[in-house]
Amino acid sequence: MTLIVKPYSEKHAIRNVVFAFEFTNPLSTIALREIRASKLHSRLIEDLDLPQHSEQTAVTVNIGAHGAVPSFGSGTPELTGLTYAHSKPNGEAAWAVSIQSNALVVTCGDYQRWDGTWKKVSLFLAETLPSILSNTQINVIALQYLDEFSLHGSREDWDLKALFSKDSKYIPRNLTDIKGACHSHHGYFDFPESPDSYKRLTNINIGVTESGDALIAQIYSVHKCLLSSPLVGSVEELIGESGFIRKSFADLHKENKNIVGDLLNQEVKDKINFDGSK
Amino acid sequence: MYATAPHLDSCASSAASYLVQGGPVSTIQRLGTIPEPSVSLIYLPTSSIELPETFEFARNINLAKVAKHIRSFVQLPIDWDGYGGIPASQASASDALEFLVRTPKYSRIPKAMLSGDGEISLYWDSSHAYAEASFPGDGTFHFFTDTPNAQNIIDGDDIDVRSNFPADLRRFLIHYFG
C-alpha cells in the first residue's frame, strides 16, 4: 500500500495566512472605544462582510504589597480588543480583522491566490489603518502562514520523504528518516535591505502529529520586519502600488515561497502546482 | 504567533505574542499581568534556559521576565540592601512597565535594577555602550547614555512614559543594541 499525500485544500496547502502590524504604543481603551463608536465599526460589519463582532476585555488586579489584599483596579473590565469576522462552516475564520491594543491582525482562512488575497487585505487595511495611525505607530510588519498536509497510509508506510525534500536546508537531515510524530523549529535574523531599514525575523516550525491512519504535517512560518523607525506616510501611499507595506508583504510572501519551495519535494510541489500558483 | 484557528475565540486574541487567553470568553491581559502557571510541566529549572531572540516568542517571554523582576521590587522589605534601602513604589513600577512595552522591537530588551531610594531603572549594557532610563514614579522618565569615547551620547529629562519613544534614544539603542 502506498502513502497518499493530500494538501489542506484541493488546490493548495495553505490553511490560513495572517497579515499583522505591531504598534509602538498600545492603543488605549479610549481609542478602542472610539473605534467601536466610529463609522469603521459598521463599515467592517456591513460593507466589508465581517458580521461576527466580538470584544476582548481585561480586568486589572493590583497585587498588594507586603501582604496587603489584592484589589481590582477600576472594577470594570477594560476594552482591549475588537474583532470582526466571517466564519466558514467549520468554525474557522474565512476572514477576520482583529484590532488589539498592541497589534492589528488580518486573518485569511480562505486563501486563493496572492493577488486576490492582497486585494482584499488592502481593502481592510485602507479602512482600518487610518484609525490605528491616528492613535499610535507601527514598527513591525509580519506575515504568517500555516500550510498543512496529511499523509494517509498504514503505519509501516509512513515516510516523511513523501512530503519533504531530503535536501532541504531548513530541516535537519534526521527529519526525513522519522516514521511518526516529530518537530523541527528553526529561526534566524537577516537583513534583506540595509540594516538601517529593518531586520527580518524568520521562524520555520514544522510539526508532525499522528492522527489515526494519517500523519498531519503543519508548516508554520512567520516572517517579521522589525523596523528601525515607525512607518511614516499616508495609508494610500503605504499600501499603494510602490508603498512600503505592499512591498514588504510582497517580499515576505516571496521569501515564504522560497522557503516552502525548499522544504517540499518536487512531487508534492507538482501536485499542488506550487511553482505556478500560491 | 498570531493565533488564527480553529475558532473565533482564537481569532479574537490574534496577537498572542503579548496576550494570553483563558476561559470560554476571550480575555486579554497586558504584559504586566501575565499569570504564572500553577504547575510546571517542565523538568528543568526554566530560569536557567535562555531563549534566543530568534525564537518568535522570545521577546515577549523575556519581556515578561523583566516585568516580573520589576514587580518584585515593590514587594521588597524595607532595608532590603542592608543600607536602609526602600522598596520601589507601585507608581515607579507601573511607569517602568509602560516604558518597557514601548522599547523598540528592533533592539534588545533591557534589564531592571532598583536604587536604594526606591527608583527603578532599566538599562542596556555592553562593552560598546550603556543606556539607562529611570522612573521616579511621577509618570515621567529620564535617561542617559554612554560610550567608551563619549561619542553620540544623549540624555533626556521629564519625558512622559506614555508618549512616543524618544527618536534619539531609539536610534542609539538600535545602533548599539540592535
Determine how β-strand B155-160 pairs with β-strand B140-146.
antiparallel
Give the count of beta carbons closer than 10 Å to the beta carbon of residue A155. Answer: 10
**Residue A19, strand partner residues:** A106, A143
Amino acid at residue number A212: G
The SS3 call for residue B15 is coil
* Predicted local distance difference test score (pLDDT) of residue A165: 96
pLDDT tens for each residue of A219-269: 999 999 999 999 999 999 999 999 999 999 999 999 999 999 999 999 999
Closest to A25 (Cβ–Cβ): which among B4, B77, B102? Answer: B102
Q: How far apart are CA B39 and CA B57, in angstroms?
A: 21
The SS3 call for residue A156 is helix
Burial of residue A92 (CB within 10 Å: 0-12, 13-18, 19+) is buried
Closest to A100 (Cβ–Cβ): which among B14, B105, B106? Answer: B14
CB of B74 within 8 Å of any CB in chain A?
yes
| Contact in structure between A18 and B5 (CB atoms under 8 Å) | no
**Mutate which of B1, B9, B10, B11 to test chain A, going by most A C-beta atoms within 10 A?**
B11
* Predicted local distance difference test score (pLDDT) of residue A2: 84
The label of the residue with cell 569615547 reads B149
The grid coordinates listed for A154 are 498504514
pLDDT tens for each residue of B62-119: 999 999 999 999 999 999 999 999 999 999 999 999 999 999 999 999 999 999 999 9
Closest-CA residue of chain A to B12: A83
pLDDT band at B42 (very low <50, low <70, confident <90, very high): low
Integer CA distances (angstroms), A67 to A63, A195, A245, B75, B178, in order: 9, 49, 50, 9, 40
* Predicted local distance difference test score (pLDDT) of residue B46: 64
Predicted ipTM > 0.85: no
Integer CA distances (angstroms), A220 to A14, A260, B101, in order: 10, 10, 26
Q: Taking CB atoms and an 8 Å limit, are A185 and B55 in contact across chains?
A: yes
Distance from CA of B165 to the nearest CA of A (A): 8
The label of the residue with cell 473590565 reads A77
Whether the CA torsion B126, B130, B134, B139 is positive or negative: it is negative
pLDDT tens for each residue of A8-23: 998 899 999 999 999 9
pLDDT band at A1 (very low <50, low <70, confident <90, very high): low
Residues of A in Cβ contact (< 8 Å) with B53 = 189
Whether the CA torsion B89, B91, B94, B95 is positive or negative: it is negative
